[in-house]
Chain A
Amino acid sequence: MVKIFEDYRRLILGCISIVLFFLAWEALLTWVIPMNKFVISKPSLIFMGLFQDIKSGLLWRDLAVSGKPLLFGFGAAAIIGIPVGAVMGWRVRFGYALDPLLTALYASPLVAIAPLVIIFFGVGISGKAILVFTLCVFPFVFNSFAGVRSVDLLLVNAVRSFGGKELDLYRIVIVPTVLPFVIAGARYAIGRALIGVLVGEFFAASEGVGYRIAWYGDMYVLDRMFGYILVMMIVAVIFTEGIRWAERTAFPWRVGM
């Protein structure tokens, strides 16, 4: 028993605090503060509501609806952001020219332009996909930029000295240097992509996770609303931790760097 605890100490302690959090929440609203269900909900009701949304298939439909713009926007951000960042890294002038503008855009809360994007591109998938793209293209740009900048000239020279040609340099030095940066960028991007979808659906949608959260809120069905928020948290954790796990598995040398 003690042995198991020692081996999985991190996992066990982490889970305990999550369980305690929900128990404390439940207890507080059951015995300490009388619960007004138009203001707050508690875990037992949330899980029951969530169970109903799962059983009726509503949750899956909403997830599928929200998944599409997420996928398209995220994919387009990777396809466009990575090459732009790479060129900024290689061509000094191009980098100097774009860096301040893109940095400003990256730093600013771009969800503010959500209404404008919806006006331009409509309430369908495209508007939301573009909002997602706008938010998560920057981590791809800046991380591939940093990746290209950190290509070690010594390694380039070493590979050249053993007879490496241009293509060998890409395969042996440049791609392995840049790839971990890009994957780390994807980890940031996915969080921003989720924000983009939710905000887009808050503004203009008739289904989808963001729409459902807003709608349940308007209807004061707070247990269902919290259920959806919980699902979003789980999705975000699965994505980011999944990518983190992929990084550790695919780039074992980075453990020591």
Chain B
Amino acid sequence: MTREYIEAKNVNLTFTPPNRMPVTALQDFNLSVGEGEFVSIVGPSGCGKSTFLNVLLGLIAPISGEMSINGKVITKPGQDRAMVFQEFGLLPWRTVQDNIGLGPELRGSSKKLRREKSQHFINMVGLSGFENHYPHELSGGMKQRVGIARALVSDPEVLLMDEPFAALDAQTRDIMQSELLRIWQEAKKTVLFVTHQIEEAVYLSDRVIVMTKRPGRSKKIIDIPLARPRDYEMRVTPEFNNLKLSIWNELKDEIDSLGGAVLD
């Protein structure tokens, strides 16, 4: 396993909102992730975590520096990556089945093939029987299952997840975390997982990257040597809690004492 499967080299990114001061979202941002690895990124609000994923996805171009996957520099969205969005990003006018078939559809595959492919992933995420439901008929957890299936159906090498469970209630979130681990083990993808929640990061990841406050840089990388497969009981062991504490110690200096960054 090489550590340089996903690489970010000295990435800088500045936004200039209309009539505002420019905001530096990422500054000399470096990161490397190995193939098949599950890496979480935690950091204070507004530190550029989501921006980083959008650059990696190919939606935003950095001002300088570059990101690459398997040696290929990212310039635009590609089939080797797929994102799971925090607010799901499902098309309200499409059924579960047609939402999941979006990627294949955009690549021009036939309706029959799309249906077959999406069915496989509908079963994988446990949504059989809901193929013809619209998103508004689903619970939050089910919506995100659709989001995960939609990302997996394109068979990407890398799964990008932008606080995918933040909009879910605590119990649904616990269930979705174990579901994600199951799916990850089944689908064998490299995962980059952005989250606010330290516990979630420890439970899911091989490594956790702590980011500084804005402008965002990677501050510290913490290995999570917990055995896999992981189960819920693991969360109350001393090792687990020690890892949580060490991440918290890195993170707390970055969090604004006034209660988070001002989002503008």
A positions within 8 Å CB-CB of B: 154-155, 157-164, 168, 172-173, 176, 251-257
Contact = CB atoms under 8 A, between A and B. Distances in A.
Contact of A159 (B79, B87, B106): B106
Interface in B149-171: 150, 154
Interface of B: 54, 57-59, 77-79, 81-83, 85, 87, 89, 91-94, 102-103, 106-107, 134-137, 150, 154
Contact of A154 (B87, B135, B137, B154): B87
Given A161-B82, A163-B77, A163-B106, A155 B91 contact: yes
A97 B162 CA distance: 38
Given A157-B59, A162-B102, 4 more contacts: A161-B58, A162-B77, A176-B91, A256-B136
Contacts of A256: 134, 136-137
Given A159-B106, A256-B134, A154 B92 contact: no
9 contacts: A155-B89, A155-B91, A158-B83, A161-B58, A161-B77, A161-B82, A162-B77, A162-B102, A253-B134
Interface core residue of A168, A252, A253, A254 (most chain B CB under 10 Å) = A253
A252 B93 CA distance: 8
Interface core residue of A155, A158, A168 (most chain B CB under 10 Å) = A158
Contacts, number: 59
Nearest to B92: A253
Contacts of A159: 102, 106
Q: Which 7 residue pairs spanning A and B have beta carbons closest together?
A: A256-B136, A158-B89, A162-B103, A176-B93, A253-B134, A163-B106, A253-B92
A163 B89 contact: no
B136 A162 contact: no
A251 B59 contact: no
Contacts of B89: 154-155, 157-158
A130 B93 CA distance: 36
A158 B77 CA distance: 10
B136 A257 contact: yes
Nearest to B137: A256
Contact of B107 (A157, A161, A163, A173): A163
B137 to A, nearest CB: 7
Contacts of A176: 91, 93
A214 B102 CA distance: 58
B136 A173 contact: no
Nearest to A157: B59
B103 A160 contact: no
Contacts of B135: 253
B136 to A, nearest CB: 3
Contacts of A160: 59, 77
Contacts of A162: 77, 82, 102-103, 106, 150, 154
Interface core residue of A160, A163, A252, A253 (most chain B CB under 10 Å) = A163
Nearest to A163: B106
Contacts of A161: 57-59, 77, 81-83
Contacts of B102: 158-159, 162, 172
A22 B137 CA distance: 43
A172 B77 CA distance: 17
A252 B134 contact: yes
Contacts of A163: 77-79, 103, 106-107
B136 A164 contact: no
B176 to A, nearest CB: 19
B92 A168 contact: no
A172 B91 contact: yes
B87 A257 contact: no
A58 B165 CA distance: 67
Nearest to B135: A253
Contacts of B87: 154
A251 B150 CA distance: 22
